[in-house]
Amino acid sequence: MSAVTFEGHTERTDERAPGGNVDDNTQLVDDDPASLVATVLEEEAKRQAEQAARSAEKVLPDDLLPGVGAAQMSLGEAARGGGYFMMLLLPLIAMAEEMDRLAIAVLAPDIQKTLNISDTTLIGIASFGGIALVLGAVPLAWLADRLSRVRIVTIATLFGAFTVLLNGLVVNPFQLFCARVAVGSAQSYKTPVHNSLLTDTYPIQARARVFGVEGLARPVGLLIGPFIAGGVADIAGGDEGWRWAFVVFSLPLALLSMLSLALKEPKRGRHEQEMVLGKELDPPPIGSQIPVSMSAAYARLKKIKTFFYICVGIGTLGFALVAVPVQLSLLLENDYGYDAFKRGWMLSLTWLASIVAIPFAARAYDKAFRSNPTRMVRIGGALIAMYGVLMLVALRFHDPLWMIAGISLANACTSAAFVCVGPTIGAVAPYRMRAQAFALVPVFIFLMGGFFGGLIAGAISDANDERTALTVVAPPAAIIGGALFVYGSRFLKRDISLAVEELLEEQDELKRMSANPDDIPLLQVRNLDFSYGPVQVLFDVGMELKRGEVLALLGTNGAGKSTLLRAISGLGIPDRGVVRLSGRTLTYVDAEVRFKHGIVQLRGGAGTFRELSIRDNLRSAMLATRKSDTDRDSRIDEIMQLFPALTNRRDELAGDLSGGQQQMLALAMALLHEPEVLLIDELSLGLAPLVVQELLVIVEQLKARGQSMIIVEQSVNVALAFADRAVFMEKGRVRFEGPARELAERDDLVRAVFLGGEGG
């Protein structure tokens, strides 16, 4: 037996080894090895069971999931509810943009003669336009989640008309390169902006059919574009008749951009809010919310499992999507001797079956979503896998007509499959970052599958032939991509449930803030889950910090205290839950932005530069500010008044200071930024009692100044010395939140802190 003394109170504890017994003389008697192993395995099984129970997925009943079990709605009813104009205008814009894409292949021979360029140069120039199309979607999506999306449509479409026109005016290869990159950049807004607009404009019950109308734009544009391009060039005549084709393609874009001025911006997330809450949430005043950060948004989206597996599945399919058009064009040239014009219109015919397949698939998706959302994604996955099978069969035909017919059926499968992507992402992505969610889809296609797929197919084609390259690359990529779709569908209801929970929490908080506007916490954490990879470490954590309050964060080692600080400061993005500062949501905001808004964290044991002097450490901490040298020095002098032990040692190296003095220096560096909330990780860990007392004096001075602080602390004694309130954590959960003095009365929690046990 051993004794542990705390403020005059003695606790008797047994010290037992796993599987061992304690005799009267406190001597450990070891059991046999088999018993020891059995005990260890039993404890590990118990630990894993507890972890699984804590990590159990929260799935709401179907009747609480928006759109599931809802009454059937016709496409006409949906159009009347959201407006016919947007449903027709956006597909027309998309179709006009697609018409330009295959035109360059049809007009390639004439362009080559005029500009005197090779096949390789022309293909390379066209490829860079595709790169701009994909990569430009990311920054434009970032803008779309902040600004009016309908105005982005107007500006981008008008710019697109201008860039298409420029293609007809080029006089050398470099100008053509710039023009194609400009066209790709202008059209890069389409995926994030069109899809997020359609999601927020039209009801959930008909969302797949709305996306089906938009989806028809691509095959129709690719089907008629080559014929229009070739026809205009023939009518214009001459070696430079191709220039008039681009002039013609620019005209509808210019007209449509003017018509888009009549589009109205829909409220973000309105249909989910109406279905879940029964009404739309009142939007916060413009400028009152902190914008979603791009990196934080993508970090959060990766944690949505349905979204992640769909993107990876599409990225895998990208091996085929990018390689097939190029290799098929080469196959038609090398095996059949077709010229550029004939190759262009034959490639356009490969999209003919898609025009028939998309409406049927869209109707089936809406029906499946109403009954069981996971079935919609499974159908999409099955169609993607079918693409691989049909492509394999089509390539066995050497008759070009049969081969093109088979590839047309294969393309119909992918076109139909992609219709389910929009409704799925719209259902699981937080409405504040939907545009950025949609922007990731083409990025995955290009960066994951498109780049490597093109390289692999090209290498196989060079070593063998184009038919072999297509056979090796396309079917496996499609089957694996479809399997990833199907696997991701198992998480769909869970991810929709999390989106619903987020809406309900937002409604509750808005009601609370409206009822008590003077009682809004300075910092608020609610329903927070956090994982490192597959290991979840925080479970439904919630806490609040009032302005001017000092809160002690206590708990056993591994309880999740430091992880909670990381989630608050933005060094980690949670799987679930919300973080607010003065009522403004910070959950999807980068650490740098949170820092600018006043959340400053002092990390335990990593707060100073050992090779720099105290003076230079303080100056380095001010580098991120825009203050003048005079203002910086004045701020440093002001803060150093709190640290008399360092005042006269400014030229000494930080590495020569004691551990306590280094902690003081780190604290001084943090205070230079005038934090709204100061987060201190492990204030007293490893420090001598005398040094701890000096730190407590500083904390008391800060408290008297009204500094709001959250301090991670191991010692209950130290916590009680400075804290107004305490939060006790154990195994990633909050076990206690309340006045610090009440914590001292909880023997079970105090015992857990001191002994590392479970408490009561």
Could you give the CA distance from residue 446 to residue 97 in angstroms, rounded to a whole number?
19
Best CA proximity match to 710, nearest among 722, 694, 695: 722
Which residue has better confidence, 75 or 333?
75
Q: Are residues 646 and 570 in the same domain?
A: yes
Q: What does the angle CA 544 – CA 547 – CA 549 come to, to the nearest 5 degrees?
A: 75
Average pLDDT of 98-112?
Answer: 79
Confidence of residue 26 (pLDDT cuts 50, 70, 90): very low
Pick left, alpha or beta for residue 433 (phi over 0 → left; psi -120 to 50 → alpha; otherwise beta): alpha
Q: Are residues 85 and 215 in the same domain?
A: yes
Q: Are residues 492 and 607 in the same domain?
A: no
Q: What is the pLDDT of residue 753?
A: 58
Confidence of residue 48 (pLDDT cuts 50, 70, 90): low
Q: What is the pLDDT of residue 266?
A: 93
Confidence of residue 22 (pLDDT cuts 50, 70, 90): very low
DSSP-assigned beta bridge partners for residue 405: none
Whether residue 138 lies inside any domain: the answer is yes
Q: Is the pLDDT of residue 545 over 90?
A: yes
Q: Are residues 292 and 376 in the same domain?
A: yes
Residues 153, 157, 158, 159, Cα dihedral to 10°: 110
The domain in which residue 362 lies consists of: 64-496
Whether residue 389 lies inside any domain: the answer is yes
Could you give the CA distance from residue 375 to residue 308 in angstroms, rounded to a whole number?
18
Q: What is the pLDDT of residue 453?
A: 74
Average pLDDT of 586-607?
Answer: 85
Q: Are residues 95 and 126 in the same domain?
A: yes
Q: Are residues 480 and 545 in the same domain?
A: no
Confidence of residue 110 (pLDDT cuts 50, 70, 90): confident
Domain boundary among 496, 528, 555: 496
Q: What is the pLDDT of residue 515?
A: 83
State the chain's mean pLDDT as an integer.
Answer: 84
pLDDT digits (tens, 9 = 90+) for 633-650: 888 888 888 888 888 888
Whether residue 616 lies inside any domain: the answer is yes
pLDDT digits (tens, 9 = 90+) for 550-587: 999 988 788 899 999 999 999 888 988 999 998 888 88
Q: What is the pLDDT of residue 53?
A: 58
Q: Are residues 558 and 601 in the same domain?
A: yes
Q: What is the pLDDT of residue 308?
A: 94
Average pLDDT of 336-346?
Answer: 78
pLDDT digits (tens, 9 = 90+) for 161-171: 999 999 999 99
Could you give the CA distance from residue 37 to residue 655 in angstroms, rounded to a whole number?
46
Q: Are residues 643 and 554 in the same domain?
A: yes
Burial of 238 (0-12, 13-18, 19+ CB in 10 A): exposed
Q: Is the pLDDT of residue 752 over 50?
A: yes
Whether residue 52 lies inside any domain: the answer is no
Could you tell me the CA-to-CA distances from 231 to 143, 242, 246, 544, 587 in Å, in that order?
Answer: 38, 10, 12, 68, 54
Could you give the CA distance from residue 660 to residue 712 in angstroms, rounded to a whole number?
16
Q: What is the pLDDT of residue 107?
A: 81
- Written as six digits, the tokens of 295 are 């990196």
Q: Is the pLDDT of residue 276 over 90?
A: no
Domain boundary among 496, 529, 562: 496
Confidence of residue 44 (pLDDT cuts 50, 70, 90): low
Could you give the CA distance from residue 335 to residue 113 in angstroms, rounded to a whole number?
23
CATH number, domain of 458, equals 1.20.1250.20
| Contact of 756 with 714, CB cutoff 8 Å | no
Which residue has better confidence, 385 or 227?
385
Whether residue 316 lies inside any domain: the answer is yes
Q: What is the pLDDT of residue 299?
A: 85
pLDDT digits (tens, 9 = 90+) for 199-247: 999 999 999 999 999 999 989 988 888 888 888 888 888 778 889 999 9
Q: Is the pLDDT of residue 759 over 70?
A: no
Domain boundary among 496, 530, 549: 496
Q: Are residues 629 and 662 in the same domain?
A: yes
| Contact of 177 with 128, CB cutoff 8 Å | yes
pLDDT digits (tens, 9 = 90+) for 479-518: 999 999 999 999 999 999 988 888 888 888 888 888 888 8
CATH number, domain of 554, equals 3.40.50.300
pLDDT digits (tens, 9 = 90+) for 281-311: 776 554 457 778 788 888 888 889 999 999 9
Whether residue 4 lies inside any domain: the answer is no
pLDDT digits (tens, 9 = 90+) for 388-410: 999 999 999 999 999 999 999 99
What is the number of domains present in the chain? 2
Q: Is the pLDDT of residue 680 over 50?
A: yes
Q: Are residues 339 and 265 in the same domain?
A: yes
| Contact of 291 with 597, CB cutoff 8 Å | no
pLDDT above 90 coverage of the chain, percent: 39
| Contact of 144 with 191, CB cutoff 8 Å | no
Could you give the CA distance from residue 501 to residue 276 in angstroms, rounded to a whole number?
9
Confidence of residue 447 (pLDDT cuts 50, 70, 90): confident
Q: Are residues 193 and 263 in the same domain?
A: yes
Q: Are residues 600 and 633 in the same domain?
A: yes
Burial 389-416 (b: 16+ CB within 10 A, else e): ebbbbbbeeeeeeebbbbbbbbbbbbbb
Whether residue 341 lies inside any domain: the answer is yes
Best-predicted range by mean pLDDT (23-32, 51-60, 568-577, 604-613): 568-577
The DSSP result for 312-340, as a single string, is: HHHHHHHHHHHHHHHHHHHHHHHTT---H
Kindly report the number of other CB atoms within 10 A of residue 683's CB atom. 25
Whether residue 713 lies inside any domain: the answer is yes
Q: Is the pLDDT of residue 25 over 50?
A: no
